[in-house]
Amino acid sequence: MKSWMRRMAMAMVVPPNPIPSISTQSLSLLHHNSIIPSFSSSRATQTTPFLTISHRRSFLSAPPCSAPSTSLSAEYNFSDFDEGEGDCVANATQWNGSKVLLKGMTYTQLEKWVQSHGYRPGQAMMLWKRMYGNDIWAHHSDELEGLNKDFKKMLSEKAEFRALSLKEIRTAADGTRKILFSLDDGMVIETVVIPCDRGRTTVCVSSQVGCAMNCQFCYTGRMGLRRHLTAAEIVEQAVFARRMLTIEVGPITNVVFMGMGEPLHNIDNVIKAADIMVDGQGLQFSPRKVTISTSGLVPQLKRFLHESKCALAVSLNATTDEVRNWIMPINRKYKLDLLLGTLREELRSKRNYKVLFEYVMLEGINDSDDDAKRLIELVKGIPCKINLISFNPHNGSFFRPTKEERMIEFRNILAGGGCTVFLRLSRGDDQMAACGQLGKPGTIQAPLLRVPQQFQMAIGNSA
């Protein structure tokens, strides 16, 4: 059966420090919400579903916007995820107090910077190609062959090429690589490279350190949000992957923003990074092969569809608001009707564009025949395809993956209803590199939310 699923599965498979002090009151609230004896709708609304951990960092080119509080209040302010909130947390282009970080710039910005130092625009293009193209992927001025000697000297004095430091590469039994990068503030992010025997290799990049969404099935969500990544830190993940692994795994052709973090919560830097990745003179990824995923931040989703040519994936995972409110707390702000209605409206004006719906299958929670039938109705009128994803277990989770036979039955119901649907196999799970397994939660973790009464039997002894 597994071999049959492997043949039928879609090729685009992806995964997926010391913490500042937090108040005693917040610790008490976290402990309270870790216990899951019962559920009522009134009490659920009082539960704080998110954890955002403020981490001070020096920004030399622009001051950071106001950081969210580390305390967990009884009533969560969902306006933190409205358009524009939190988007300027990480926009610095300065490095070490004096050098400019080149990978944080678009080509237009790089050209202006080069000209400001007295050099021709042509030199900027040559530099751009050596950073992102021509199989060079330069990490140092010494690797800039063919450039003017004085220009190289200026770059060595004024510019920094690297935003990340390689910490470790872990190789899974199926060939998936999990790359751990250290940031300049000591934090660590994870990137995954997924080879495919059909000639398509995907790099899964992170957009944040941790994540504020607190999806209950996701290990990264247990971390809370530490900070956004800069555009340079996002782009460099793809550059590093090509530089280090192209010879081993073949050309890296696809990028998915499905690593650590909610990409649209960091929309400014994500759109900028994606624009750099698809530049025709640089990394040259096709916009159709760069996919940005979201849990459903509706205002940012609309902005993304207007400003970016890249593909969109929406992590759906439930067919009712009751279930999605529980397993994906952002649904309390942006309900299914609003999310899907927005997609239906926005995609009317986009030609030959399909959204990818991701559906993590949780045994006894969202995998019934009724769920499949509701899903068919929910996506009607939306040009889309659906990926059914096996849940990848991790420490502390009480969910169980839907059995393969049930996934196939669920897929068949969707296909019978006219949906384009694929099964997506887990990759790299023996190295915690699969979807929903990235990151390393610390002592302070986002709360586990109360389980609706009707699902307590389903989670059984796993709770």
Q: Would you place residue 7 in the very low, low, confident or very high pLDDT band (cuts 50, 70, 90)?
A: very low
Stretch 3-27: mean pLDDT: 37
36 pLDDT higher than 80: no
65 is catalytic: no
Q: What is the pLDDT of residues 379-398, one digit of tens each?
A: 999 999 999 999 998 887 88
Of 211, 384, 419, 435, catalytic? 435
- Picking from 337, 319, 338, 317, the residue whose alpha carbon sits closest to that of residue 328 is 317
The Cα–Cα gap between 426 and 402 comes to: 12
What 8-state DSSP symbol labels residue 52? B
Q: What is the mean pLDDT of the chain?
A: 82
Helices 369-378 and 404-416 pack at an angle, to 10 degrees, of 40
215 is catalytic: no
48-57, 67-76, 317-326: which range is least confident on average? 67-76
Q: Would you place residue 63 in the very low, low, confident or very high pLDDT band (cuts 50, 70, 90)?
A: very low
* Residue 239 to residues 125, 230, 236, Cα–Cα distance (Å): 17, 15, 5
Stretch 340-353: mean pLDDT: 95
The Cα–Cα gap between 192 and 205 comes to: 7
324 pLDDT higher than 60: yes
Q: Would you place residue 59 in the very low, low, confident or very high pLDDT band (cuts 50, 70, 90)?
A: very low
4-13, 154-163, 275-284, 289-298: which range is least confident on average? 4-13
What is the pLDDT, as a whole number, of residue 85?
42
Stretch 48-57: mean pLDDT: 50
What is the pLDDT, as a whole number, of residue 4?
40
Q: Would you place residue 199 in the very low, low, confident or very high pLDDT band (cuts 50, 70, 90)?
A: confident
385 vs 438: which has the higher pLDDT: 385
Q: Is the pTM of this model over 0.85?
A: no
Question: Which residues are CB-neighbours of 61 under 8 A, at least 6 positions away?
Answer: 91, 92, 93, 94
The Cα–Cα gap between 305 and 292 comes to: 11
234 pLDDT higher than 50: yes
What is the pLDDT, as a whole number, of residue 87?
37
Phi, psi dihedrals of residue 342, rounded to the nearest 5°: -65, -45
The Cα–Cα gap between 161 and 104 comes to: 9
Any alpha helices (H) in 266-312, and if so which ranges?
267-277, 298-307
Q: Are 360 and 387 in contact (CB under 8 A)?
A: no
Of 190, 233, 262, 346, catalytic? 190
> Phi/psi zone of residue 186: left (φ > 0), alpha (ψ -120 to 50 degrees), beta?
left
Classify residue 229 as exposed, middle or buried by CB count within 10 Å of its CB (0-12, 13-18, 19+).
buried
371 pLDDT higher than 80: yes
121 pLDDT higher than 60: yes
Phi, psi dihedrals of residue 75, rounded to the nearest 5°: -120, 115
Q: What is the pLDDT of residues 154-164, one digit of tens each?
A: 999 999 999 99
What is the pLDDT, as a whole number, of residue 380?
97
- Picking from 270, 261, 267, the residue whose alpha carbon sits closest to that of residue 221 is 261
Q: Are 447 and 51 in contact (CB under 8 A)?
A: yes
Q: Are 383 and 354 in contact (CB under 8 A)?
A: yes
Q: Is the dihedral of CA 445, 238, 269, 155 positive or negative?
A: positive
Stretch 300-306: mean pLDDT: 98
Rg of the chain, C-alpha, whole Å? 22
| DSSP states along 123-181 | HHHHHHHHHHSTTT--SSGGG-TTS-HHHHHHHHHHEE--S-EEEEEEE-TTS-EEEEE
The Cα–Cα gap between 258 and 270 comes to: 12
Q: Would you place residue 49 in the very low, low, confident or very high pLDDT band (cuts 50, 70, 90)?
A: low
96 pLDDT higher than 80: no
What is the pLDDT, as a whole number, of residue 389?
95
Q: Would you place residue 3 in the very low, low, confident or very high pLDDT band (cuts 50, 70, 90)?
A: very low
Q: Would you place residue 141 in the very low, low, confident or very high pLDDT band (cuts 50, 70, 90)?
A: confident
Q: Are 166 and 240 in contact (CB under 8 A)?
A: yes
Stretch 424-439: mean pLDDT: 80
422 pLDDT higher than 50: yes
The Cα–Cα gap between 130 and 13 comes to: 30
150 pLDDT higher than 50: yes
Both tokens assigned to 290? 């760069």
Stretch 292-314: mean pLDDT: 98
- What number of other Cβ atoms are within 10 A of residue 58's Cβ? 10
Paired residues of 390 in beta bridges: 361
Both tokens assigned to 418? 């006219």
The H or E element that residue 87 is part of is none
The Cα–Cα gap between 257 and 269 comes to: 12
What is the pLDDT, as a whole number, of residue 14?
34
Any alpha helices (H) in 67-132, and if so which ranges?
107-116, 121-132
Q: Would you place residue 425 in the very low, low, confident or very high pLDDT band (cuts 50, 70, 90)?
A: confident
What is the pLDDT, as a whole number, of residue 46?
37
Q: What is the pLDDT of residues 69-80, one digit of tens each?
A: 333 323 345 555
- What number of other Cβ atoms are within 10 A of residue 189's Cβ? 27
Stretch 420-435: mean pLDDT: 84
